[in-house]
Amino acid sequence: MPVEEFVAGWISVSTAWVTWLPLREQPWLAHFLTNPVLSIQVRLQTQNTYRGIVDCILKTYRHESVLGFFKGMSFPIASVALVNSVLFGVYSNTLLALTATSHQERRAQPPSYTNIFIAGCTGGLLQAYCLAPFDLIKVRLQNQTEPRMKIGSSEPRYRGPVHCAASILREEGPQGLFRGSWALVLRDTPTLGMYFVTYEGLCRQYTPEGQNPSSTTVLVAGGFAGIASWITATPFDVIKSRMQMDGLKGRKYRGMLHCMASSFRQEGIGVFFKGMTLNSARAFPVNAATFLSYEYLLSLWR
């Protein structure tokens, strides 16, 4: 099994968080900039106290100060490279098994979109199970609204990611770390198939036959692939986040279908698209840089 795709996937997403920032030598700045977007997106999806993006930002700042935007920041830093490595490695090796062509040969012998979709779905399925515990802990931490470092304020339920993981294991058992995982699987499996189909389709559309796509083409194709996948993923992303928060103060939902029906009944069809604007805005630069880094790294192994 070729391992370079796993390595390229690992490095590319770490680079992606940095390459679209002016200070490339300081990777933590990428997470520093994007974590507030993720925090606002998660709160909009799981809490009904906000009228929109601006209202969420203002209330978070007033109640928790600027620190409220950076809760759960350490876990994306720790998990994102591992998860991306699984996605790209499984995708490329599944495509190799389906078509018997390596990454280097696929421009001259392009695989069918069906095979690309199957390989993307396979990568998405395995990525989802690797991601589930990390994502649940991130969502729980980001939803803590207690202000830290304020005298007289109530203590947050979780003191950090390790304490959060230990508390979930103690109170909800090992299965608690995989709460919402079915919604995560349904979010990632088809949408990551579409993700790779969109990327390959745009690259083929704007690249002469048999040649490698230019850097500009890779950036644009990767960016629009990210947007397309998040537009389709957002409804299940909302359900996933709500299921992950369920159990914190008693069980509200009997299962994923009950969560969907209950959310629709109480908030209407718009509930399934909460956070889509923020997801799409973040998706273009991150995924553009991810694919550019991935393609460049694989070209070094040719």
Select the more confidently predicted residue: 39 or 236. Answer: 236
CA 40 to mean position of chain CA atoms: 14
Query: pLDDT tens for residues 275-297?
Result: 898 888 888 988 898 898 888 88
- Which amino acid is present at 91? Y
Q: What is the CATH number of the domain that holds 103?
A: 1.50.40.10
Average pLDDT for residues 17-33, to the nearest whole number? 42
What is the domain count for the chain?
A: 1
- Determine the Cα–Cα distance for residues 282 and 285; give it in Å rounded to an integer: 6
For 45, how many CA atoms within 13 A lie in the half-sphere containing its CB?
A: 33
- Residue 27 pLDDT: 38
Specify the pLDDT at position 161: 85
Q: What is the pLDDT of residues 184-233, one digit of tens each?
A: 999 999 999 999 999 999 999 999 887 889 999 999 999 999 999 999 99
Give the tens place of pLDDT for each residue, 135-154: 898 888 888 876 655 555 67
| pLDDT reading at 11 higher than 60 | no
Lowest-pLDDT range of 124-133, 137-146, 239-248: 137-146
Give dist(CA 242, CA 124) in Å, integer: 20
Give the torsion through C-alpha atoms of 34, 35, 39, 44, to 10 deg.
10
Name the phi and psi angles at 40, rounded to 5.
Answer: -65, -40
Q: Evaluate if pTM is beyond 0.85.
A: no
Which domain does 66 fall in, by range?
4-300
